[in-house]
């Protein structure tokens, strides 16, 4: 009788993958922390073949990217990841991988700088862009044009009111007309949502935010569900030829930041929930917007689609208009007045001022990025300012 097969090693979960950065050991040295490769070029042998197969030039290749790309691929349960110089470089590479004349559908409520790019540069370049409430599945379906819609872009929770889109349902509609689905999952992070499991073809991150987590690296990523996905192959082409690559120091810092990603995301999400509950119960507040509140419109979908928390982003409508919001903002001591999210420090932003006169964000809305401070301190500071 053959000996019993040894038990299979179970696939490690996100905490384990991150804590050990996949457990890689540097071959030549045995180092547990990877080296930083700064070389922009690679040697060739006497026959002019690359000494290290595939290594030619640093505009598209750097061994320092690869551990961070592989860790992100494992966290998203995808096939391959490409890092970019910023979140916007990653987002725009996906649209640049299409062709002029292609039709794309994107959310009316989304990361503001990308929406502006879509309605200006992308439109001038020839993309046919429809902005629609993608969380409203009937509106999404009506916006799709069988045969000519090539991409549906989704963001959930979406900036800055954290509207939830049912990824599986939206992906089914998009795929039914032959469109690819890309999800900006910056706010959710792979700790809370893995869009590929809900049907996404591409997952995009502003790694500047929670993935790096320390407000000291600008980076972006695109992860593909399938390595031979035609759109992803063109994304790789865009990166290789247009050169919006991440620097080796930034790639190294990103991997270092990702080692603590699950801890940071869960702590910030738990604090955000407590803060949102507190704000929802405060009679001075007009509305607290947070997917973890049972009263929130998309709560049930979020509860199904997210696991381990509802994210670190909360918005609060203070009531009383723009002046009241700016007064509250001005009185805060602990919260830092700055744009961005996903860092260790908590940030507050008056989006309507930042976006200017064409903004559709409610003027009494403050966007809160909850960090890792003691949540009682954060609540006390807001209480004193309201
Ligand atoms: C910040 C952000 C981006 C852009 O990332 P950058 O690194 O600032 O270019 C894209 N999408 C979302 C949701 C973001 O929060």
The whole model's pTM is what? 0.97
Q: Domain check: are 118 and 157 in the same one?
A: yes
- Cβ atoms of residues 378 and 348 within 8 Å: no
Domain assignment of residue 223, yes or no: yes
Q: Domain check: are 150 and 252 in the same one?
A: yes
Q: What's the distance, Cα to Cα, between the start and end of the chain in Å?
A: 75
pLDDT of residue 366: 98
Q: Domain check: are 219 and 360 in the same one?
A: no
Q: Domain check: are 287 and 240 in the same one?
A: no
Secondary structure (H, E, C), 104-150:
EEEECCCCHHHHHHHHCHHHHHCCEEEEECCCCHHHHHHHCCCCCEE
Among 113, 189, 193, 342, residue to substitute to test ligand 1 (most atoms within 8 Å of Cβ): 113
pLDDT of residue 2: 67
- Domain containing residue 305: CATH number: 3.90.1150.10
- Domain containing residue 191: CATH number: 3.40.640.10
Residue 209 alpha carbon to ligand 1 centre in Å: 7
Domain assignment of residue 41, yes or no: no
| Edge-to-edge strand ranges of the sheet holding 149-155 | 80-84, 220-224, 202-206, 180-184, 149-155, 103-107, 128-132
Domain assignment of residue 50, yes or no: no
Question: Chunked in runs of 10, what are the mean pLDDT values of the chain (386 residues)?
Answer: 70 93 94 96 97 93 95 98 98 98 97 97 98 98 97 98 98 98 98 98 98 98 98 98 96 98 98 98 96 98 97 96 96 98 98 91 97 98 97
Domain boundary among 207, 238, 258: 258
Six token digits for residue 277: 């509950």
Domain assignment of residue 54, yes or no: no
Is the CB of 275 inside a 6 Å radius of any atom of ligand 1?
Answer: no
* Residues labelled catalytic: 59, 111, 184, 209
- Number of Cβ within 10 Å of residue 283's Cβ equals 4
pLDDT of residue 373: 98
Domain assignment of residue 187, yes or no: yes
pLDDT of residue 131: 98
Q: Domain check: are 166 and 270 in the same one?
A: no
Q: Domain check: are 222 and 77 in the same one?
A: yes
Domain that holds residue 219: 60-258
Residue 205 alpha carbon to ligand 1 centre in Å: 7
Domain boundary among 258, 285, 307: 258
pLDDT of residue 1: 63
Domain assignment of residue 315, yes or no: yes
Nearest CA, atom 5, ligand 1: 87
Distance between CA atoms of residues 198 and 18, nearest Å: 22
Is the CB of 86 inside a 6 Å radius of any atom of ligand 1?
Answer: yes
Domain assignment of residue 80, yes or no: yes
Residue 208 alpha carbon to ligand 1 centre in Å: 7
Q: Domain check: are 117 and 216 in the same one?
A: yes
pLDDT of residue 11: 75
Distance between CA atoms of residues 222 and 1, nearest Å: 49
Domain boundary among 211, 231, 258: 258
Pairing of strands 365-369, 313-317: antiparallel
Is the CB of 152 inside a 6 Å radius of any atom of ligand 1?
Answer: no
Q: Domain check: are 190 and 224 in the same one?
A: yes
Among 92, 155, 209, residue to substitute to test ligand 1 (most atoms within 8 Å of Cβ): 209
Q: Domain check: are 250 and 313 in the same one?
A: no
Q: Domain check: are 238 and 265 in the same one?
A: no
Number of domains present in the structure of the chain: 2
Measured from the CA of 91, which atom of ligand 1 is nearest? 10
Q: Domain check: are 100 and 234 in the same one?
A: yes
Distance between CA atoms of residues 158 and 154, nearest Å: 8
Is the CB of 92 inside a 6 Å radius of any atom of ligand 1?
Answer: no
Domain assignment of residue 91, yes or no: yes
Q: Domain check: are 83 and 206 in the same one?
A: yes
């Amino acid at each position: 009788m053959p000996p019993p097969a040894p038990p299979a090693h179970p696939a490690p979960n996100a905490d384990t993958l991150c804590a050990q950065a996949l457990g890689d050991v540097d071959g030549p040295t045995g180092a547990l922390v990877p080296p930083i490769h700064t070389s922009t070029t690679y040697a060739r042998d006497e026959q002019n073949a690359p000494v290290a197969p595939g290594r030619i030039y640093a505009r598209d290749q750097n061994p320092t990217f690869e551990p961070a790309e592989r860790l992100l691929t494992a966290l998203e349960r995808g096939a391959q990841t490409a890092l970019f110089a910023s979140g916007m470089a990653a987002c725009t590479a996906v649209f640049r991988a299409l062709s002029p004349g292609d039709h794309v559908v994107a959310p009316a409520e989304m990361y503001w700088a990308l929406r502006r790019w879509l309605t200006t540069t992308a439109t001038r370049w020839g993309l046919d862009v429809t902005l629609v409430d993608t969380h409203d599945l009937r509106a999404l379906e009506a916006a799709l044009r069988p045969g000519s819609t090539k991409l549906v872009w989704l963001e959930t929770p979406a900036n800055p009111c954290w509207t939830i889109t049912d990824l599986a349902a939206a992906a089914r509609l998009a795929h039914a007309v032959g469109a690819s689905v890309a999800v900006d999952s910056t706010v959710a992070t792979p700790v809370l949502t893995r869009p590929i499991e809900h049907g996404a073809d591409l997952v995009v991150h502003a790694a500047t935010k929670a993935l790096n987590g320390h407000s000291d690296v600008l980076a972006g990523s695109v992860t593909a569900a399938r390595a031979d996905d035609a759109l992803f192959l063109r994304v790789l082409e865009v990166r290789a030829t247009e050169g919006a690559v991440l620097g080796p120091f930034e790639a190294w810092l990103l991997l270092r930041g990702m080692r603590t990603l699950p801890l940071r995301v869960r702590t910030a999400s738990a604090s955000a929930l407590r803060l949102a509950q507190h704000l929802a119960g405060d009679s001075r507040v007009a509305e607290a917007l947070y997917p973890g509140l049972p009263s929130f419109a998309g709560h049930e979908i979020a509860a199904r689609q997210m696991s381990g928390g509802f994210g670190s982003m909360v918005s609060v409508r203070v009531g009383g208009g723009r002046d009241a919001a700016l007064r509250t903002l001005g009185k805060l001591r602990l919260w830092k007045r700055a744009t961005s999210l996903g860092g260790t420090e908590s940030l507050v932003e008056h989006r309507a001022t930042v976006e200017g006169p064409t903004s559709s964000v409610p003027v009494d809305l403050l966007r809160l990025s909850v960090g890792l401070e003691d949540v009682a301190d954060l609540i006390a500071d807001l209480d004193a300012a309201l």
